[in-house]
Chains A and B, each alone.
Chain A
């Protein structure tokens, strides 16, 4: 029973009969019945479980790995993508919900980081630019109707007509409901907001993508006008139109598919534009020459960010699952080796299935061609000793900031926590600095980017993981015990407060109520006895009705007249 339920039960005493009070109080709970020792044991179990290892080991290591991907590009961080954000995406990942999460969060780094400096706000003019002409819409409708006068609305399945005249002819009322209209599944506003600020795409491209077959359909005029610029989920949630659950789910599927296709088209278009559009190329070259932030570096960094998020999400998911449930558990494996194999298989399947949608068809060309040729020059500035000193310094500062960020929820750290953090920071920094030596080795081995980055990040990350795991097991400063103690203290303090609160409410609702009952009863019975002494039969009757009300007795009459009717109505009276 929760505290709310407990208080609610106590307040119910207000409505019960005075005779029932004792039994109701017997059934009351003023405290949680759970044994105190069980609570302590539970906290201990939790701190020894995999969940704790996720917090203590997996997350810091993941931060380190992600950071390795992102640290070479200052721009990624400037654009607001940081390891914590990527980790957040990884935390929310599951194989089943991946597409929805990606769409809802709009966190596709590829799109986010190719933004222009300012985004034009969606308005009528923009809508006009992105929409096709009425003539083209008519043509589209004719194609869809294919000689028929009515077809089914793509959303609610109702019969809709090709023209107003046809609708008028057949249905005299609710013409709008039965007139077919051109509909953008993903509204123009959404498309504009999401893609218009990408440097390598223009309004014409967006117009073509927004009006592509995969994003258009025919629905009733009523539905079209109600939906307006709303995204599908928003439109369904608003409840403007009565759709069945089946229809809603169909509409969401249509929306999902339309989004996937749009993203795919946009990615393709961007690559195409960068390759062919001399304007864009010149623009980027100009940026490179002037030494300002260059958009092409953005593209490279974004792609690295994308790869990081894309591959790392399922890997993180599997690692977390291993920590919490074990390697072989939950996936039908009989041994650790088999479990490991199955998990790797699952990651591989996911990557291969989704890679095409994610990268488009030109991944290899993009990475090898554009990025390497344009960015190599910039990165080559940081070679040799200068590069290493720069990276080591940067790495040290960043790692410290990242790990400190994990503990930022507790601004007042204890001495033990500070000590623990210090050791961990120094340890991870040393491992990371050693990782730069690995970079040199990989460079000498002529392993191309971004694979060299991936390998070095994973090796460094594994090193950090092992280090953190060992530190966690040793728990040199008894930080784990301290945290556990704080948790137990908090739980008991809360429980004691709950008990105190329940007792206070009990005093008011039960004890005070009992006193009031006693007083009320005395008043009534004294009056009855007084009336009996004085032969005042009317008052006796009146007070007996009060007594019946006091005990919550449901009489079938309220006065002498009704009583006589009741008495005469049956041969036998049941008390």
Chain B
């Protein structure tokens, strides 16, 4: 290393010393700034907390938070509820349609067939018709959520100056009271929403129950109809066999003095089974599966239409 090398290295050390001093000063200043900044922040926060408690703004903020939370919760619950009810209503309507078809089969096909088959030995009277049913979509009327204007007795966001003056001149009594009232009103609304959601859940449970009950009924109809068809075939065979076996017997059959006792035991049993099954079938077809029959619903609809028309007329006159 020459002289220049030595000077260079000295220069380097000086400049690095200056740099180090500069950066340490800079760091010190930065640190101080950060400390001051965080101190100011803390102080600001403290002041804002004190002000929030003094004026009741803290409670107002809490009210805002609760309102936002339950609004979201209610919207979601309502949406789910509508989707689920739509599905369940469709299922219910489908089941009722199937049950109505089965009722129609019983009325138009199976029972007349039974009457015809047994007419050789007895006159049988069957119901003229069965009620065709329909499901009236009926669900809860949900309450709406109150708007912010309705719930909030004071608004620190909208009326910053006004609330500041109110808080200052009443030593916070007025604004605190209003904030507290707002918070209570919002909490009450939240409870209302809880109640509405509980209602929705119960309603879904009930609709699921209806679906399950109707699916059971559909199944009952199908299986009993199946058995009944088999019984009809058996009775048909039994009577036809007897019919061809003996003319004398046939003569007895058509005479008014006919008694079931004249038939062989097996035939007696076959007829007994068919009549028992017919009674079961009739009972099933006559029992209402929904709370309203089609006629009643039509009447309701007519009434509703009539009153709607009348209101419309009155409004026109007005």
Contact = CB atoms under 8 A, between A and B. Distances in A.
A575 B201 CA distance: 43
Most buried by A among B127, B234, B280: B280
B315 interface: no
Contacts of B191: 488-489, 492-493
Given A36-B195, A481-B184, A482-B184, A21 B213 contact: yes
A573 B184 contact: no
B81 interface: no
Interface stretch (A262-270, A367-375, A538-546): A538-546
Contacts of A484: 184
Interface stretch (A25-33, A236-244, A250-258, A387-395): A25-33
A108 B187 CA distance: 49
A568 B195 contact: no
Interface string A488-510: 11001101100110110011001
A37 B150 CA distance: 13
Most buried by A among B209, B216, B271, B289: B209
Interface string A546-573: 0110011101000010011001100111
Contacts of B280: 544, 547-548, 551, 553
Contacts of B260: 563-564, 567-568
Interface in B214-249: 214, 216-217, 219-220, 223-224, 226-227, 230-231, 234
Contact of B192 (A18, A492, A540): A492
Nearest to A521: B220
Contacts of B181: 478, 481
B127 to A, nearest CB: 7
B216 A575 contact: no
Interface in B13-65: none
Nearest to B233: A532
Given A489-B188, A528-B227, A499 B216 contact: no
A329 interface: no
A517 B291 CA distance: 20
Contacts of A511: 208-209, 212
Interface stretch (B82-90, B117-125, B156-164, B299-307): B117-125
B282 interface: yes
A485 B141 CA distance: 24
B123 A571 contact: yes
Contact of B216 (A27, A36, A492, A514): A514
A564 B210 CA distance: 40
Interface in B86-137: 111, 122-127
A514 B276 contact: no
A555 B276 contact: yes
A538 B273 CA distance: 9
Contacts of A39: 192
B287 A518 contact: no
B198 A500 contact: yes
Interface in B270-284: 270-273, 275-280, 282-284
Contacts of A540: 231, 269, 273
A510 to B, nearest CB: 5
B308 interface: no
Given A23-B291, A553-B280, A30 B188 contact: no
B270 A573 contact: no
Most buried by B among A529, A547, A552: A547
B205 A506 contact: yes
B12 interface: no
A25 B265 CA distance: 44
A25 B288 CA distance: 12
A41 B152 CA distance: 16
Nearest to B133: A23
A560 B269 contact: yes
Give the interface size bracket for A toward B. Answer: 35 or more
Contacts of B276: 541, 544-545, 548, 555, 563
Contacts of A477: 177
Interface string A152-171: 00000000000000000000
Contacts of B184: 478, 481-482, 484-485
Interface string A402-416: 000000000000001
Contacts of A537: 266, 269-270, 273
B287 A496 contact: no
B282 A575 contact: yes
Contacts of B210: 22, 25-26
Contact of B202 (A489, A503, A560): A503
Interface in A14-52: 17-23, 25-28, 30-31, 35-37, 39-40
Contact of A22 (B125, B192, B234, B289): B289
A529 B279 CA distance: 18
B192 A525 contact: no
B287 A574 contact: no
B212 A514 contact: yes
B294 interface: no
Given A492-B192, A553-B280, A19 B227 contact: no
Contact of B272 (A23, A35, A525, A541): A541
B209 A573 contact: no
B2 to A, nearest CB: 85
Nearest to B272: A563
Contacts of A552: 283
A336 interface: no
Contacts of B194: 492, 496
A476 interface: yes
A7 B291 CA distance: 20
A34 to B, nearest CB: 10
B285 to A, nearest CB: 9
A560 B261 CA distance: 10
B259 interface: yes
A100 interface: no
Contacts of B251: none
Given A514-B212, A544-B276, 6 more contacts: A25-B213, A493-B191, A529-B226, A529-B227, A544-B280, A573-B122
Nearest first, the 8 closest Cβ-Cβ pairs linking A and B are A22-B213, A485-B184, A30-B202, A21-B213, A492-B191, A478-B180, A19-B287, A36-B192
29 contacts: A18-B216, A19-B217, A19-B220, A20-B287, A20-B289, A36-B195, A37-B192, A476-B173, A478-B181, A485-B184, A488-B191, A493-B191, A496-B198, A506-B209, A514-B209, A517-B216, A529-B227, A532-B227, A537-B273, A541-B269, A541-B273, A548-B279, A553-B280, A555-B276, A564-B261, A564-B268, A571-B256, A573-B275, A575-B127
